[in-house]
Amino acid sequence: MSMNVPVFSDLAEAIAAAPRTHLTFLVTEYGKPFSTVGFGNRFREWRNQAGLPHCSAHGLRKATAARLAERGCTPHEIMAVTGPQTLEEVERYTREAQRAGLADSAWERYAKGQQGPTAEAGSGPTSTKSLSELAENAPVALPRGIEPLFSP
Q: Where are the domains of the chain?
A: 9-112
H, E, C per residue of the chain: CCCCCCCCHHHHHHHHHCCCCCCCCCECCCCCECCHHHHHHHHHHHHHHCCCCCCCHHHHHHHHHHHHHHCCCCHHHHHHHHCCCCHHHHHHHHHHHHHHHHHHHHHHHHHHCCCCCCCCCCCCCCCCCCHHHHHCCCCCCCCCCCCCCCCC
pLDDT on residue 81: 86
Ranges of the chain with pLDDT below 50: 121-127, 131, 134-135, 138-152
pLDDT on residue 50: 94
N-term to C-term CA, the chain: 45
Please name every residue paired with 33 in a beta bridge, in sequence order, or none if there are none.
Answer: 27
Is the full-model pTM beyond 0.95? no
pLDDT on residue 18: 81
pLDDT on residue 115: 67
pLDDT on residue 139: 46
